[in-house]
Structure 1
Amino acid sequence: MPQNPSRLRIVETPEELRRAPVDAAELREGAVLVRAAALEAPDTLPAVRQAVPWMRLWRDHPSWAGGYWRCVVDAEDDTPVYTAYRPRTLRFHTDMSRYLVPPEFTVIRCVTPDSAGGENLLLHIDDVFARLRELGRDDIIRFLTARRTLSMEARHLGPWVEGSGLEVDATASTQLAVAADPAAPCRIFDRHGATKGSHLDLSPADERLFDDFLDLCSDATDLAPQVRLESGDVLLFSNWRLLHARLACAGSGRVTEICMGDSAPTTEEPAA
């Protein structure tokens, strides 16, 4: 499969990691795969601290209170609301897009790989925008950059906003990647890709544009590095700049642990 190698760096040894540490700016431009052999830590949280010691772990959801979320693929379990538990292909998405300020970075550590599937695909939004312009799909670009009101519960506003009485502008662009600042918050809604519920009020025409956008992402295999994770490998990328997808698993048993975080607090925590 043709891929865009400039969007993926592979770190094979501890020496490589020390010589060229992973930083926030790099993850905004592409993904980094750190092989298990480059990490001294046998467990997820120590491995994440070694790979990105600067990252502040995101814990603003009950499932992430321990610092990571464990995803176990089980073909027999049809009850989970999160489609990531199911073996089928997980379409391109970004996580926690229903929050006012989603966490900026994602780290996926493989605990148990799938026997013959479950590869990860990563697609940079700048590459998608370039492809849209090539195809003359300015209608999708206008849709992605429009400001809309989020359909959020109070808890999605953030830990220091909920119950504080603060006035919050709960509008945000679905896509801010065209902004001059590469560190500007970006939100690419997954439209039932990885989470339940709808986070935007969309017209039928908008829904068709959203589906066209996701179909184009799925077809852009020449732009998306395909990464297979083995036990202990760690994959890192910007949750604001890269969309993530997972190919279908061969069956049950794939286990990953996912951390999310920021390079600095995204909200000013009030003084005690």
Structure 2
Amino acid sequence: MLNTQVDQSDSTFDVLPMSMSIEKVLTEDQSLADVRTALDKGSGSILLDASQWLDLCDVDCQNELIKLGNRLGKVVQRGKTESPIWRVESKPDKAMPSFSEQSNDAPFHTDASYYPAPMKYLIFLSITPASQGGENLILSHRRLLDSLREKENGREIISILSQSEFPFSMSPSFHVDSSKELPLEVAPVLSDDSIRFQIKAIRNGFHRKPELMSTKKVYAIEQLESHLAGFMKNRGEKLKAGQMLIVNNWRALHARKAFGNEKRLLFRASVEAELE
């Protein structure tokens, strides 16, 4: 039976290392099923070895990544890129960089919270690690809820985040068609088995939909933001070249610590859930 437990200790890297080869996940149904079990019923994130792909040219490597994503669901285009594979790298000269395009801390969040159905899986393949810093952090939905319940006001926060509607608005830096209104979704932050959270998206949403803002909602998201900042102080893991991190975007938050150079590069695929 697959072990879906993760040693947490002082780490915020709730990720299950899996020893199976990436080729098995691409070709064997049982290996794919084991991956799904870990992502959908276990920690919500896994680590695989895809170092053999580093010998391929960028195009072939990205094509293999697309094949893997399409085994899990459907790889989708993200933002203004020509390819469905996003090059995650620092872009210091960009006017409105996203979290992934900056070298400072990227706080805990889920992606595409401003859509009715955000992508289910995020696949990150490390190509060039940062020479200093850049550790990844993953916080599972289960561990977040457990830690909030231990706080004096934690159950109140959970109640507000679960029972209230929050507006999530896309950042203009991701907007492809300026002739159309920025996407905005209204939804709770927490449910029994999922999370939707990006502090900037909620603040943008409150700006666009002030009628949805209240003192208790602002209190709850600020408390959550502060709580998550504590997990940022824990130990993360820097992905080695060729390591692949797959995250269930519905069941885990991801973050990244600051890094000291601008050569860090990951390839990333966004994967929609399969139709039931």
- TM-score, L = length of structure 2: 0.73
Partner of 2:88: 71
| Cα distance change on mapping 1:72 and 1:196 into 2, 3 Å | farther
Superposed, 1:40-55 pairs within 5 Å as 42=56, 43-50=61-68, 53-55=71-73
1:61-113 deviations in whole A, cap 9, x for unaligned? 44356212222214x42623313211111000000000011111111112221
Query: Could you tell me which amino acid in structure 2 is paired with residue 208 of structure 1?
Result: Y
2:80 is paired with a residue of what secondary structure? helix
| In 1: Cα distance, 2:139 partner to 2:10 partner | 13
Partner of 2:76: 58
| In 2: Cα distance, 1:265 partner to 1:48 partner | 18
Verify the 8 A CA contact 1:108 1:236 in the aligned structure 2: yes
Aligned pair partner of 1:220 in 228, 231, 241: 231
Aligned pair partner of 1:124 in 117, 133, 140: 140
* Alpha-carbon offset, residue 116 of structure 1: 1.5
Verify the 8 A CA contact 2:141 2:252 in the aligned structure 1: yes
1:101 is paired with a residue of what secondary structure? coil
Superposed, 1:117-266 pairs within 5 Å as 117-136=133-152, 137-148=154-165, 150=167, 171-176=186-191, 178-179=192-193, 186-192=194-200, 198-200=204-206, 201-220=212-231, 226-265=236-275
* Alpha-carbon offset, residue 38 of structure 1: 5.9
| Cα distance change on mapping 1:68 and 1:221 into 2, 3 Å | same
Q: How many residues align?
A: 242
* Alpha-carbon offset, residue 8 of structure 1: 1.9
Partner of 2:122: 106
* Alpha-carbon offset, residue 150 of structure 1: 3.3
| In 2: Cα distance, 1:135 partner to 1:196 partner | 23
Whether 2:86 is the aligned partner of 1:86: answer no
Runs of 4+ in 1 over 6 A off after TM superposition: none
Query: Could you tell me which amino acid in structure 2 is paired with residue 23 of structure 1?
Result: V
Verify the 8 A CA contact 2:111 2:249 in the aligned structure 1: yes
| In 2: Cα distance, 1:104 partner to 1:77 partner | 30
Q: Which runs of 5+ in 1 are unaligned?
A: 157-161, 163-169, 180-185, 267-272
What percentage of aligned pairs have identical amino acids? 19
| Cα distance change on mapping 1:248 and 1:67 into 2, 3 Å | same
| Cα distance change on mapping 1:40 and 1:115 into 2, 3 Å | closer
Partner of 1:36: 50
Partner of 1:166: none
1:199 is paired with a residue of what secondary structure? helix
Q: Alignment RMSD, CA only?
A: 3.4
Q: Which runs of 5+ in 2 are unaligned?
A: 1-8, 175-179, 207-211
| In 1: Cα distance, 2:225 partner to 2:107 partner | 8
Partner of 2:39: 27
Query: Could you tell me which amino acid in structure 1 is paired with residue 133 of structure 2?
Result: G
| Cα distance change on mapping 1:103 and 1:206 into 2, 3 Å | same
